Each structure stands twice: as C-alpha cells, then as structure tokens.
Amino acid sequence: MPHLLILGGTTEASALAAAVAEKGVRATLSYAGRTAQPRAQPVPVRVGGFGGAEGLAAWLRIEQVTHLVDATHPFAAQMSANAVAAAEQAGVPLVALTRPAWRAGAGDRWTFAADLDAAVAALAGPSRRVMLALGRMHVDRFAARPQHDYLLRFVDPPERAPALPTHRVVIDRGPFTTAGDRRLLEAHRTELIVCKNAGGEGAAAKLAAARALGVPVLMIDRPTLPPRRTCESVAAVLDWLDHATDRGV
C-alpha cells in the first residue's frame, strides 16, 4: 500500500489530498504551521518542521513513506531543496506539484525584481501608496523604505504590528475576486503592487484588478530550485503515482 507525504500549505496541496483520499490512497499532509487555522483536510495532518533534509529523510523512513510530493509555495525554496535532498537520502521518489508562473499580458504594467532585496531597493524614491502582497513573513524588510503608505493583506491577524510606520492591515482569506480586489485597490488609492510570482488562480485577482485600473506591478521572480520532476496538475501527480506504484517503487 503506498504512503504519500504531501508537503502542503497551498490550494494545490489541498486538492491533491482530496483526490488521493477519494481514491483510498494513504496520505499525510504536512503544514509548516504558519497559518493559525488551516482548512480541515480529508487526510491526516502533520504540523511543524522536520529538522532540515536529514530530519525529513528520517521521517520518511520511520513512517515508511513510499512517495513524496512537494506541493509547497513556489517561494518555499529551503523546504523544496530539503525535499530533493531528503528524497535522495531516503530513496523515495519525489515529484513537485507546481503552479505555472504568471506572465504579463496586454495592458499589464509590470517591472521585475530578482528577489526581495531587489524589490526593497526598487522602492527608493518619493512616497507612494503600495500594496505588499507578500505574506506577513516578509513585510518588515520594507521598513528600509519607510516613506510609503503600505497596504497589507494577511490570512491571520499578526501577533505584533508590522515594522512599517504607515500601514493598513486587511485580514482576509482567498481565493479573491477581481471585483473585490479592485474595490480594495481603489479604497486605498494604491499606486503600486509588490508581489511574488506565485502563479495560480487563487491570488491572481489583484493582477487583473491592477490591469483594469492601470496600477503598475513590481513582480518578484521565483527562486532557483534544484532539478526535480514536476507536474502542473493534480491529475498529472495521480498519473505519476499510479505509474510509480506499477513499477514497484
């Protein structure tokens, strides 16, 4: 009987958990634990870190995991690197369930930053009304640019106030709509959106709203990850799982 470990925290991870539960495949869904009240899942859930690649490899062996799926956020670079290393150490086949990156289209006003440091550097200059669509872990980096009026949207209320002199916090959980994000940008009179190229549909509404309003976007490129097998749909992961199982892996 296969035992699948899904490294989650994304919409895609939840969709995969639902799909394998329906097929009767044994699976465990792992969360990093950054969301206070994650959605209920149809498979057992594990919360917290593993202790690096070695800790994850040990967990794979102890729990007799037969297949590993990295369905973490595209910017969870350390976790993804640990997954590649741990899968190799434990001899467990790995696939990454990834979202296609967003691409600029007609009407988009995008500029690009290689990483968070480059995004902070790009905000030099006069004060603007800026939406930081980055998640709560990274907003304090922008305290180096205190002249701006920031709009922040979090899933959970922050445990402490962000280190930004002028900001507004909105607590909301996606998926979001273009109409709703347009109202949000208009209410804040947003002049720039800073976001990571997460891909997917659940967080793309802000980009459509920005396009409609002519608001520029500073898009942070995805990090470089170790080579690995990738799939871009739950169906492709299920096909991989079926074929890996057929081969006796």
Give 140-160 pLDDT, tens digit per residue.
Answer: 999 999 999 999 999 889 889
Q: Has residue 41 got a pLDDT over 80?
A: yes
Q: What is the pTM of this model?
A: 0.84
Q: Has residue 45 got a pLDDT over 80?
A: yes
248 pLDDT band (50/70/90 cuts)? Answer: very low
21 pLDDT band (50/70/90 cuts)? Answer: very high
Query: What are the pLDDT digits (tens) for 203-235?
Result: 899 999 999 999 999 999 999 999 999 999 999
pLDDT value of residue 35: 62
What stretches of 48-177 show up as alpha helix (H) in DSSP?
A: 52-62, 77-90, 116-122
Q: Are 240 and 228 in contact (CB under 8 A)?
A: no
Q: Among 37-51, 57-71, 123-137, 219-233, which is the least confidently predicted range?
A: 37-51
Say how far apart CA 198 and CA 101 lie, in whole Å.
6
Token output for 76? 């969870």
Query: 64 — phi, psi (to 5°)?
Result: 55, 45
